[in-house]
Amino acid sequence: MADQKQHTDTALAEKFFRSLYRIRRTEEEIIRLYPTDKIKSPVHLSIGQEAVAVGACEALQQNDIIFATYRCHAAYLAKGGNIDAMWAELYGKTTGCARGKAGSMHLVDMATGISGASAVVATTIPQAVGYAWAIKQKQEKRVVVSFFGDGAVEEGVFHESMNFASLKKLPIIFICENNQYAIYTHVNARVPATNYCERAEAYKFPAEKIENGDVFSIYESITNKANAIRDAGDGPYFLEILTSRWRDHVGPGENVYLDERFHTDHADYMKHDEVERVGDLLAPEKRFEIIADIEREVAAAIQFAEESPFPADEELYHHVFHGGESP
């Protein structure tokens, strides 16, 4: 990995560390609690990839909207999703962000610009494009961000969406979180060339690759692109960010099934852990203050989920149709 930039913006570092640590500790608690069977859905953890969501979402405004994948905890929290509602959703409780019906892979909080995530690879890409088309039709100064993994680039709908977004010059930023694995298959075993930026450029819009996972570089890139969309009507944009997931594809376990190459790369990314690196930019007392705040917040959210009720039987008939509590 290339050396990451050195930054002295203390206020920004504090914001980044708070968000990075919040995501990390939330998912570490998911790992701790998952064997108890209190969490009622499969989980896809973002540990190791937090900087992508944090750098991107900190650059957005509240009325901008994101579309995430099933590995959506980081994006949800980074964009300002309600942590109590997230934990309750993991527990299958009625106070969850989807009333306990959706679980970890379908987090949603429209009040803070988080559209519902999806468990099917690449399906939120065309949804994001459709939302961006609606924004353009309404002439609103808003930005749409579509997060997806490198495996999604191999889906046909990715190319259809890129083509339409370019044709209509939509206010959207496509972010490929390239952790180089689709479940357990390395990208080199799936495609003849990892030229994702070239593929985007073939659709005639700007593409950029960030190789070091630096949260400040990601923030700067998204800030510039979002401002260009809002101020000059530019768009779309494509951003590929190299990253690494440290846990199994699904569940809380380690990546024990992957080859030696993965574990070599994995160790390199761990040495450049953005949570620790950004935390080291802070004065010790400020870092400890943020850590204490987050520990209290996460513990309270878990307690909220524990004490919340499960949905009543009649909940099966609620929200089946748009705008109604019952069919």
The pLDDT of residue 157 is above 70: yes
Model pLDDT, residue 327: 41
Using one digit for the tens of pLDDT, what is the confidence trace for 289-306?
999 999 999 999 999 999
Using one digit for the tens of pLDDT, what is the confidence trace for 23-78?
999 999 999 999 999 998 999 999 999 999 999 999 999 999 999 999 999 999 99
Per the CB < 8 A criterion, the answer to whether 125 and 200 are in contact is no
Model pLDDT, residue 261: 65
Going from the C-alpha of 288 to that of each of 7, 22, 62, 272, 283, the distances in angstroms are 20, 13, 28, 20, 9
Going from the C-alpha of 33 to that of each of 27, 37, 251, 312, the distances in angstroms are 10, 7, 11, 24
Nearest-angstrom CA–CA distance, 244 and 166: 29
The pLDDT-based confidence of 325 (bands split at 50, 70, 90) is: low
Tokens matching residue 35? 């064997």
Taking the complete model, does pTM exceed 0.85, yes or no?
A: yes
The pLDDT-based confidence of 155 (bands split at 50, 70, 90) is: very high
Spatial strand order in the sheet of 207-210? 65-67, 144-149, 172-178, 237-242, 207-210
Classify strands 185-186 and 181-182 as parallel, antiparallel or unpaired: antiparallel
Nearest-angstrom CA–CA distance, 247 and 253: 6
Mean pLDDT of 275-294: 97
Q: Which residue has the higher pLDDT, 260 or 167?
A: 167
Nearest-angstrom CA–CA distance, 114 and 68: 8
Using one digit for the tens of pLDDT, what is the confidence trace for 173-228?
999 999 999 998 889 999 998 899 999 999 999 999 999 889 999 999 999 999 99
The pLDDT of residue 136 is above 80: yes
Domains by residue range for the chain, with CATH: 10-304 (3.40.50.970)
Model pLDDT, residue 4: 53
